[in-house]
């Protein structure tokens, strides 16, 4: 009885396979295959072609050169200015006074200590000066704050002194006899600062001049005591002026070929055309001079001016440079290309031979990728070098051998890589602008392969 108890066999349940398990297993296998296929397949990133333009990095800081004459004092005394900075004065116009006694200076100080009424024109001048500083302020060059301080102080003093000049006859004769009225010796624009760059010429340029950390500008302020021979102001006598920038040799050559270039001044966003000249110094540094015939008065107080060269206004289809590839094609005279075959497509009549060696012709369909007045660029996958093409309605033959290359991209609208020729208008390191709606080229909203090296002709595209 004990032996029968030890021979008990465990019962195993049968495996019940139902339709749900089968479906789940099939789906699981399908997902695994899809995931494996996705990670092992080559993927082409598409790029949608859009209209656009390129903004090249053509911003430079230049040094302004003007025909400037420094005027010095004939005698010592306290100076008071009456012509406004940036104002054009004629020969004989009053610019400043020199007071040997200092009493006029005391009178000016007393008058300026009270309230001074400024006209709308005076206020507009101050607002313009403040807005110009705010728009061009660079925190890394904080010294311009002090220049701005002196500019405003000088402007306010000159405006106040102009009002006092109207009442100068109130002073007693003993005082006024010691005041010298100093007039402009020539016609020009008055500037109340000196910086040592006044006599600078293009041939004197070195790259060190563009390091404005060592640049020193001396503001000439009213009420200062000056000695004989000290600079009191300068005259910019000519409306023609220049801005000199430092560039590499290739850029200089590009600008010289243009002869004239459009310039945008970043200070006020105004534009003007400039004539181009260049100079390379003995150290091998190249400088370009941009000469203007207007706008000198606007920038007469500025030595360092930021500008943008507007060398390209081309607009078209904007595509990445990575999508561009160069491809070779057979070049065939246009009279050998006909329409034929079952669907009337483009092709050529190629000479061929039967098994018996009899010469015959066959129509070979081929794709046209570009055309000139006399030739077509044909796909080299359907033709071979040495093939003879038959001219329609003639016995003339043409041996296929001539090749040429085209720049283009791979269009993937139809799910495969189709080469399209492009005409590049302008290009930088990242993008190119190409002509739109050309006969064998691209159109806006076409999809192209972002990386042309990742695909081949007629390859099926997996995105």
Q: pLDDT tens digit string along 101-155?
A: 766 666 655 555 555 566 666 677 677 777 767 766 666 666 567 667 766 766 6
Structural domain includes residue 188: yes
Higher pLDDT, 412 or 17: 412
- The pLDDT, as a whole number, for residue 173 is 47
Last residue within a domain, chosen from 205, 237, 269: 237
Q: pLDDT tens digit string along 189-229?
A: 999 889 889 989 999 999 889 887 778 888 887 777 888 89
Is residue 332 located within the same domain as residue 198? no
Farthest CA pair distance, the chain: 154
Is residue 226 located within the same domain as residue 77? yes
Structural domain includes residue 335: yes
Structural domain includes residue 386: yes
Mean predicted confidence (pLDDT) in 168-186: 67
Compute the distance between CA of residue 190 and CA of residue 133 in angstroms, rounded to an integer.
20
Mean predicted confidence (pLDDT) in 399-414: 91
Domain assignment of residue 357, given as a range: 318-454
Whether pLDDT at 244 is above 90: yes
Is residue 233 located within the same domain as residue 376? no
Structural domain includes residue 128: yes
- The pLDDT, as a whole number, for residue 377 is 93
Q: pLDDT tens digit string along 321-378?
A: 999 999 999 999 999 998 887 778 889 999 887 777 778 888 888 889 999 889 999 9
Structural domain includes residue 382: yes
Is residue 216 located within the same domain as residue 349? no
**pTM for the full predicted model:** 0.53
Structural domain includes residue 228: yes
Is 67 in contact with 238 (CB distance < 8 Å)? yes
Is residue 337 located within the same domain as residue 223? no
Last residue within a domain, chosen from 237, 262, 277: 237
Instruction: Give the confidence band of 164 by pLDDT, cuts at 50, 70, 90.
Output: low
Is residue 80 located within the same domain as residue 198? yes
Is residue 323 located within the same domain as residue 231? no
Per cent of the chain over pLDDT 90 is 22
The total domain count for the chain is: 2
Q: Look at phi and psi of residue 309 and say left if phi exceeds 0, alpha if psi is from -120 to 50, else beta.
A: beta
Is residue 79 located within the same domain as residue 222? yes
Structural domain includes residue 326: yes
Helices (H), 246-385: 249-258
Is residue 322 located within the same domain as residue 185? no
Is residue 76 located within the same domain as residue 214? yes
- The pLDDT, as a whole number, for residue 69 is 92
Is residue 325 located within the same domain as residue 436? yes
Instruction: Give the confidence band of 458 by pLDDT, cuts at 50, 70, 90.
Output: confident
Structural domain includes residue 301: no
Mean pLDDT over the full length of the chain: 81
Is residue 325 located within the same domain as residue 220? no
Instruction: Give the confidence band of 288 by pLDDT, cuts at 50, 70, 90.
Output: very high
- The pLDDT, as a whole number, for residue 172 is 45
Residues near 347 by Cβ (< 8 Å), separated by ≥ 6? 337, 338, 339, 340, 341, 363, 364, 365, 366
Q: Kindly state the DSSP code that residue 139 receives in the 8-state scheme.
A: T
DSSP 145-194: HHHHHHHHHHHHHHHHHHHHHTTGGGS-HHHHTTEEEEE-SS-EEEE-EE
Compute the distance between CA of residue 39 and CA of residue 140 in angstroms, rounded to an integer.
50
Helix, strand, coil distribution of the chain in percent, nearest 5: 25, 35, 40
Mean predicted confidence (pLDDT) in 416-439: 86
Last residue within a domain, chosen from 219, 237, 255: 237
- The pLDDT, as a whole number, for residue 139 is 67
């Amino acid at each position: 009885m004990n032996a029968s108890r030890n021979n008990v066999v465990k019962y195993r349940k049968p495996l019940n396979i139902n339709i749900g398990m089968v479906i789940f297993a099939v789906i699981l296998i399908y997902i695994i295959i899809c995931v494996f296929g996705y990670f092992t397949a080559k993927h082409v990133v598409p790029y949608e072609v859009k209209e656009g333009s390129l903004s090249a990095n053509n911003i430079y800081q230049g040094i302004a050169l003007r025909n400037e004459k420094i005027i010095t004092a004939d005698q010592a005394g306290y100076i008071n200015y009456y012509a406004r900075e940036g104002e054009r004065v004629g020969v004989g116009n009053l610019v400043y006074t020199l007071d040997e006694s200092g009493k006029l200076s005391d009178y000016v100080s007393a008058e300026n200590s009270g309230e001074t009424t400024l006209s709308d024109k005076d206020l507009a001048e101050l607002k313009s000066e403040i807005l110009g500083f705010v728009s061009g302020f660079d925190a890394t060059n904080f010294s311009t704050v002090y220049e701005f301080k002196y500019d405003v102080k000088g402007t306010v003093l000159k405006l106040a002194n102009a009002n006092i000049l109207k009442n100068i006859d109130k002073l007693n004769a003993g005082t006024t006899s010691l005041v010298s009225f100093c007039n402009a010796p020539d016609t020009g624009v008055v500037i109340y600062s000196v910086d040592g760059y006044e006599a600078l010429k293009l041939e004197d340029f070195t790259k060190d001049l563009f390091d404005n950390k060592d640049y020193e500008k001396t503001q000439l302020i009213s009420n200062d005591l000056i000695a004989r021979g000290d600079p009191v102001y300068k005259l910019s006598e000519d409306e023609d002026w220049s801005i000199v920038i430092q560039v590499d040799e290739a850029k200089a050559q590009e600008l010289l070929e243009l002869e004239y270039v459009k310039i945008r001044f970043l200070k006020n966003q105004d534009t003007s055309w400039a004539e181009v000249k260049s100079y390379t110094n003995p150290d091998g540094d190249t400088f370009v001079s941009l000469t203007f015939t207007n706008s000198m008065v606007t920038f007469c107080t500025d030595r360092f001016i930021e500008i943008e060269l507007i060398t390209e206004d081309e607009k078209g289809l904007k595509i990445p440079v990575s999508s561009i590839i160069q491809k070779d094609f057979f070049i065939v005279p246009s009279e050998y290309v006909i329409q034929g075959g079952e669907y009337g497509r483009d092709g050529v009549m190629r000479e061929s031979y039967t098994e018996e060696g009899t010469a015959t012709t066959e129509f070979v369909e081929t794709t046209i990728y570009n055309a000139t007045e006399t030739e077509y660029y044909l796909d080299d996958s359907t033709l071979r070098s040495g093939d003879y093409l038959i001219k329609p309605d003639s016995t003339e033959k043409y041996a296929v051998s001539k090749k040429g290359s085209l720049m283009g991209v791979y269009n993937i609208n139809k799910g495969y890589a189709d080469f399209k020729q492009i005409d590049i208008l302008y290009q930088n390191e990242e993008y190119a602008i190409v002509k739109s709606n050309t006969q064998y080229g691209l159109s806006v909203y076409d999809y192209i392969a972002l990386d042309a090296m990742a695909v081949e002709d007629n390859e099926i595209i997996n995105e």
